[in-house]
Structure 1
Amino acid sequence: MEKNTGFLLSYIKYGDHDAIINCYTLESGFQSFFMRGVYSVKNKKKAFLSPLNELEITFSTHHGNLPTIKKVELSEKLQDEVNVHQNAVIFFLADFLNQILKNESQQIPLYREIKFFKQKILEKKMHAHYFFLIRMLLFFGISPLISEEKFLNIEKGIFQEEISQKELGEELSSLWKKILDEELNEDFLVEKKYRKPLLDSILQYYKIHFPEFYSPKSLPVILEIFE
């Protein structure tokens, strides 16, 4: 038997009662597991299948097959009174991470970063996800190079003196620079007029610099919540 601790990123029902779950684990990075009987009537573990739940997974491995879960528990008690906005952001981040972490092996700092920002969302720091999405670029070595120039050029991944596209004016470029250069401030907020343009620019950056990236399916929900 082996044991992993990991954040649940996604799951797929398999047959009538089983599931395949995808997690980013502290010990092994991205990992898929076979979870037997989770959809059976008497199984109470279905409640664990919520995005970014941190799970303690005991599993066995057999040559050529997915690791099979023998026991699963929550790593920590579920937060009380998580509202619809918090749930939507957490679902969006899980959707996003499920895509970008599929080829990632163990990175302890990355795991801690996920844990830190999930906690910020649970503490109702509802704009922390902008910070998180941009900070993830640092882990992949594709973040924009900070300089004294004013305007972000998404395609080149640099700041420059001339504006490269009208949507990325000085204010939005300055937001990018602030997030890349500073720690998350407890009072960090994005003005309403910049929320959609900032998120659009972040996703555009990923599409250009991250192979086969596509906008998460949960994007429309996030856009509606922050309008």
Structure 2
Amino acid sequence: MKTYRGFLLSYVKYGDAHAVVNCFTDDGFQSFFIRNIFSKKSKQRAFLAPLNEISLHIQIKSGTDSLKEVSKMELLKHPELQQQYKAGAVLFFTADFLYQVLRNEQQNEEIYHEISTFLKHLEKGNMNVHYILLTRFLKISGILPLSGNGRYLDPETGTFSASQTHQLLDEEISELWKQIISDVHPYEITVPSELRKEFLDSVFLYYQLHLSDFRIPGSLEVVQQLF
């Protein structure tokens, strides 16, 4: 028997009652098969909410490469704001983003801790947390821009320069980037409502330039409409 602790990123229904769940666990990205979670008698389908922290007990079978099958699942942490519309949208969007960037990620305590920190701030009612998390993952991935004296972020070189090199990164947006990069408590930074769309667009531009095959999450439009 092996037990994994992890955050639910996505799931795919398999047949009428079963599911394959994708999680970032204490042992890296993992996919698991769960039987009968959508059956009428199951009380665990509510566990399949974005970024719920769950415990998965796996019966190890020797000599097989098949998908790990869950023998028992427990809910460890359910974000208190999950049922609130805006918070639920933030969780869905963030899980969508994390599923994409973590699919090939091995065990990484820093990432697991970062997701936990993100959730703690969201539970406090901070609806800016997803903007910060996206930037924090650039640091974890080793592609965070280098802070400097320039007033404009150059998204291609990842440095700050004296002149503007991209229309999305004017002085105001570049200054916001610089604040988040340099602040020791970035989750306490508030992204002004009038800058949120432009800032998020600039973050995804940076990802597209520095991560091969990166795609913008399909849930982005919902988040932009809300915020």
Offset of 1:215 from its aligned partner? 0.8
**1:80/1:140 Cα in 2 relative to 1: closer, same or farther (>3 Å)?**
closer
Quote the offset at 1:78 in angstroms.
Answer: 5.2
Counterpart of 2:53 in structure 1 is 54
Cα distance between partner residues in 2 of 1:178 and 1:84: 29
Residues 13, 20 of structure 1: 8 Å contact kept: yes
Percent identity among equivalent residues? Answer: 40
SS of residue paired to 1:216: coil
Runs of 4+ residues over 2 Å off in structure 1: 183-188
Aligned-pair distance for 1:79? Answer: 1.8
The match for 2:36 is: 37
Structure 1, unaligned runs of 5 or more: none
Say whether the 8 Å CA contact 1:131–1:184 is kept in structure 2: no
Gaps of at least 5 residues in structure 2 are none
**Where does residue 111 of structure 1 map in the other structure?**
112
Q: Give TM-score scaled by structure 2 length.
A: 0.95
Superposed displacement of residue 203, structure 1: 0.8
Q: Which residue of 1 aligns with 2:74?
A: 73
CA distance in 1, matches of 2:115, 2:190: 19
Instruction: Please give the root-mean-square deviation of Cα atoms over the aligned residues, in Å.
Output: 1.4
Deviation at residue 21 of structure 1 after TM alignment: 0.2
CA deviations over 1:144-180 (Å, ceiling 9, x no partner): 1111111101112111111102321111101001101
Quote the Cα distance in structure 2 between the aligned partners of 1:114 and 1:187. 16
In the other structure, the counterpart of 1:161 is 162
Task: Give the 3-state SS of the residue equivalent to 1:180 in structure 2.
Answer: helix
1:87-122 Cα offsets, whole Å, 9 max, x none, are: 000110000000000010011111000011012112
Deviations 1:12-51 (A, max 9, x none): 001111100000001x100000011111110111000000
One-letter amino acid of the counterpart of residue 34, structure 2: M
Q: Which amino acid aligns with 1:49?
A: L
In 1, Cα distance between equivalents of 2:220 and 2:136: 19
Contact preservation (8 Å) 1:128, 1:184: no
Number of aligned pairs?
A: 225
SS of the equivalent of 1:75 reads strand
